[in-house]
Amino acid sequence: MDRKNMLTGRPFDDLRAILAQLPDADDCAAKKVREALAGKPVDSTSGLAELAAWAASWQGSSNPSIAESHICVLASSYEGQDTSSVTDYIEATSKGAAAVNLLCVEKGIGLRAIQLAPEMPHPSDGDWSEQDCMAAVAFGMEATAAGGNILGLTDMAPGNAERAVAIILAVKGLQSDDTLLAAVDKDFANNVKVLLARVQGAEGDPLEVMRRLGGREIAAAVGALVAARSRRLPVLTDGWAAIAATVVLDALVDGATGHVLPAASDNPMQALAWHLIGKTPIVGLEIGGGPGCGIAIGVSVLGAACAMLGLRDRTQ
C-alpha cells in the first residue's frame, strides 16, 4: 500500500477512506474448499475445515497454504514501565534465544521486530497528535512487507494491557465495571477507569479513542491489519495490541477484521476480551511462552487444516 495516498486530507479521514475500499473475502474459494472436504474422510463442518475455508477465502485460492508465514513483533513502551524488558526481548530474538525462535525454526516461520522507538516511552497522558498517531499506523503497514501466505502479528509493549482494555470498553460502549475488569486486581481496574475518563464524549469515534488511549504499537497494529486486508493476507494474532486494533477497526467498518483470527490468549483476561469481540482463539490453551509463541502454534494448527485437502477422496 502506498502511504503517500494517505496524505490527501486529515489523517484519520484518509484512513477511513482506505477502509471503505478494502477487498472482500473470496467466497468462491472458500466454497470450493468446503466442497472438496465434503468428499474427504473428515468432518467437513469441523473447526479445522472452517479454518481451511477461512484461509482460502482470504488468500483467494482453493489450495490455501502456510508455506510462507511470517511473525512480526511490534515493540514499544510506555512511561513508567521497564523499557529494558523490551530491548532484552529484541536482543534475545536477534540471537535466537527466545522461546518464539525455537518454534519459528521448527516450523519454518519468519520472525522480525518492528521497533517503534521503545527507548522513547509513549507519554502516560497519551498526548500525541493525529498526525503522529497516523505515522505509527503507516509504519505498522510495513509488517506486511515480506508478503507470503500468513502474517502473524504480536507485540512487546509492557503496560499496554490497561490501554487495550480501556479501548475495548470505550469503543464497545461497556461500563467500566464490566466483567472484563472483574478478572483483574483493584489497581488495574482503577487505572483503566482513569483512562476511560480521558475519552468521555469521544466514545463514538474509535480512532479518537485510539489516539487518546493507545500507544505506538496499537496504532501500528491497526496499520498492519489494514495493509494485510488490502493484500488479502490472513492474519493470526496474539497480544493486546491486536485485540485493541481489532476492536477499533470493526467499530469503523463492520467485518473489517474478517481476515484476522486470534491464535491464542496469554491469560484469561485476553480470552474474555476476544469473547467480547466475538472471536475464538484457535488454541484453547493459555500459551504463556512470550510474544509470538501462540501464533507459531496457531500456524501449525492452520497448516494441519490446509493439509486435509490432500487426503484421498472418500470411497463410495
What does the pLDDT look like over 93-152, one tens digit per residue? 999 999 999 999 999 999 999 999 999 999 988 779 999 999 999 999 999 999 999 999
Residues 53-73 have pLDDT tens digits of: 999 999 999 999 999 999 999
Burial of 91 (0-12, 13-18, 19+ CB in 10 A): exposed
Rounded to an integer, the average pLDDT of 25-46 is 93
SS3 283: coil
Residue 214 confidence (pLDDT): 96
Residues 192-237 have pLDDT tens digits of: 999 999 998 888 899 999 999 999 999 999 999 999 999 999 999 9
Cell of 239: 497480544
For residue 297, which of 259, 262, 263, 265 has the smallest C-alpha distance? Answer: 263
Residue 190 confidence (pLDDT): 92
- What is the model's pTM? 0.94
What angle do helix axes 206-213 and 160-172 make, rounded to 10 degrees?
Answer: 160
- Cα distance between residue 88 and residue 94, in whole Å: 10
Per-residue pLDDT for 1 more than 90? no
Please state, rounded to an integer, the average pLDDT across all residues of the chain: 92
Strands (E), 167-211: none
- Cα distance between residue 103 and residue 296, in whole Å: 6
Residues 157-197 have pLDDT tens digits of: 999 999 999 999 999 988 766 778 887 889 999 999 999 99
Residues in the chain: 316
Q: Report the percent of the chain where pLDDT is more than 70.
A: 96
